[in-house]
Amino acid sequence: STEGPADKVEETGKPEKKPEDTPKPVELPKQDAATLTLGGPATVDRSIEGAEGVNGTYVTGFNQVGSSVTWRADMKSEGSYRLSVRYAVPAKDANATLTVNGKTNSQPIGLKNFIKSSDPAWEKNWQTTWAPVDLKKGENEIKISCEDGNQCDVLLDWLEVTP
């Protein structure tokens, strides 16, 4: 302030966080796994062909406890939905923990070798699975993680929610 004694300084209020500084939740119904919030040793790669993500990106490093992908999304209405996941496995079954809005599903999401491939080449084993999820109107958090007891040798390509 230019008013008042020169030896007195008033601290101005801290700038408020502008709405554009806060990341907006991603809209459903489909999102590349590589654009989700990654946890633990999960990283993005594009060296294996066949991923449908932008520029062939996918999530790798998911085979260690603590790895995760988290999707924060706004839903226009509450209800039961189908969460589809596109992934690749090296010709063997995998699974992961599915948590929706802080509640862990009683059974892991099966990321099985549904195509019954015997070829361990990742690029030949892209497939899709799904699990039922109950979502609320407004912001939801969908997390797929590798926890103790999971077999998480998997690459994640995209997630999709449909009625």
Residue 146 falls inside a structural domain = yes
Query: Is residue 129 within 8 Å of residue 87, measured between CB atoms?
Result: yes
Residue 12 falls inside a structural domain = no
Strands (E), the chain: 26-27, 30-32, 37-39, 43-45, 58-60, 68-75, 79-88, 94-100, 103-104, 109-111, 126-135, 138-145, 155-162
Residue 1 falls inside a structural domain = no
CATH number of the domain where residue 106 is located = 2.60.120.260
Residue 54 falls inside a structural domain = yes
Kindly report, residue by residue over 119-136, the tens digit of the pLDDT.
999 999 999 999 999 999
Residue 6 falls inside a structural domain = no
Residue 92 falls inside a structural domain = yes
pTM for this prediction: 0.80
- Judged by DSSP in three states, 111 sits in strand
Taking 60 as the threshold, does the pLDDT of residue 160 lie above it? yes
Kindly report, residue by residue over 30-63, the tens digit of the pLDDT.
889 989 999 999 999 999 999 999 899 999 999 9
Taking 60 as the threshold, does the pLDDT of residue 90 lie above it? yes
Residue 29 falls inside a structural domain = yes
Residue 84 falls inside a structural domain = yes
156: containing domain: 19-162
Domain count, the chain: 1
